[in-house]
């Protein structure tokens, strides 16, 4: 399309690419679920868990502390995107990174048929897989 910029229009209005990722798999027969999550200031988020398929999201307010198995902890701020592969990967953190402001994000999850969108991980499994978790930030 001649004359159209990376934002999808000639004048910069309209669609704007925020993320372009290729998940490792999409469960056959998956359904897509869109969820808005809001955590009050300082909320730790969901305990360690996993999803049956990949998830894609966008932080709309505040900042979210994010940690997936094998990746260092990071903070995702309003206006930034995230994704996770789902499947066997443990999602350790998704809580509010700020102590004085709510955090909110929208996430689209591709869920395997007949499986819950989220499954908590038991302490025994966390211990067995501890070697797969990235080193924790120092508390200095």
Q: What is the pLDDT of residue 91?
A: 97
Q: Does some domain include residue 104?
A: yes
pLDDT tens sequence across 10-45: 667 788 888 888 888 888 999 999 999 999 999 999
Phi and psi, residue 77, nearest 5° = -95, 160
Give the structural domain span for 86: 36-116
Pick from 68, 105, 62: nearest CA to 84: 68
pLDDT tens sequence across 51-78: 999 999 999 999 999 999 999 999 999 9
In the predicted structure, residue 137 carries a pLDDT above the cut 80: no
Number of domains comprising the chain: 1
Q: Does some domain include residue 9?
A: no
Q: Does some domain include residue 129?
A: no
114's CB contacts (< 8 A; 6+ apart) are: none
Q: What is the pLDDT of residue 3?
A: 46
In the predicted structure, residue 118 carries a pLDDT above the cut 70: yes
The strand pair at 81-84 and 119-120 is best described as: unpaired
pTM comes to 0.84
Q: Which two tokens stand for residue 59?
A: 């932080």
Q: Does some domain include residue 96?
A: yes
Pick from 124, 53, 58: nearest CA to 91: 53
CATH code where residue 95 lies: 2.60.120.10
Q: What is the pLDDT of residue 59?
A: 98
């Amino acid at each position: 399309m001649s004359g159209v910029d990376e934002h999808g229009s000639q004048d910069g209005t309209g669609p704007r690419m925020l993320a372009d990722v290729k998940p490792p798999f999409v469960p056959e027969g998956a359904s897509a679920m869109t969820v808005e999550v809001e955590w009050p200031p300082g909320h730790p988020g969901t305990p360690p868990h996993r999803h049956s398929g990949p998830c894609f999201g966008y932080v709309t307010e505040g900042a979210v502390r994010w940690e997936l198995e094998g990746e260092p902890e990071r903070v995702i701020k309003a206006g930034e995107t995230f994704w996770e592969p789902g499947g066997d990967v443990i999602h350790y953190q998704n809580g509010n990174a700020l102590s004085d402001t709510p955090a909110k994000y929208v996430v689209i999850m591709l869920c395997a048929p007949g499986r819950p969108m989220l499954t908590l991980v038991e302490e025994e499994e966390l211990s067995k897989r501890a070697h797969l978790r990235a080193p924790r930030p120092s508390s200095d």
